[in-house]
Amino acid sequence: MSRGVRMVMLGRQGAGKGTQCVRLSRHYVVPHISTGDMLRAAVREGTPLGRKAHEIMNNGGLVPDDLMIDIVDDRLDRDDTTSRGYILDGFPRTVGQAEALEKITASLPLDLVVDLHVATEVVLERLASRRVCADCGHNYSVDAPPKYGWVCDNCGGDVVQREDDKPDAISKRLAEYEANTAPLIEWYRDRGLLEVVDGLGPADEVTERLYAVVDARRSS
Ligand code: ADP
Ligand code: ZN
**155-194 tens-digit pLDDT:** 999 999 988 898 888 888 899 999 999 999 999 999 999 9
**C-alpha of residue 202 to centroid of ligand 1, in Å:** 25
Positive or negative, the CA dihedral 32, 58, 10, 210 is positive
Q: Give the model's confidence band at 137: pLDDT under 50 very low, under 70 low, under 90 confident, else very high.
A: confident
Mean pLDDT value of segment 90-118: 97
The yes-or-no answer on residue 26 being catalytic is no
Active site residue 162: yes
**179 class by beta-carbon count within 10 Å (0-12 exposed, 13-18 middle, 19+ buried):** exposed
Looking at the CA of 139, name the nearest ligand.
2
- Rounded to whole angstroms, the Cα distance separating 60 from 158 reads 22
- Give the E-state strand segments of 134-207 in sequence order: 139-141, 159-160, 194-198
Which is the catalytic residue, given 12, 40, 131, 162? Answer: 162
- 7-37: pLDDT as tens digits: 999 999 999 999 999 999 999 999 999 999 9
Q: What is the pLDDT of residue 2?
A: 67
Is residue 112 within 8 A of residue 9, CB to CB? The reply is: no
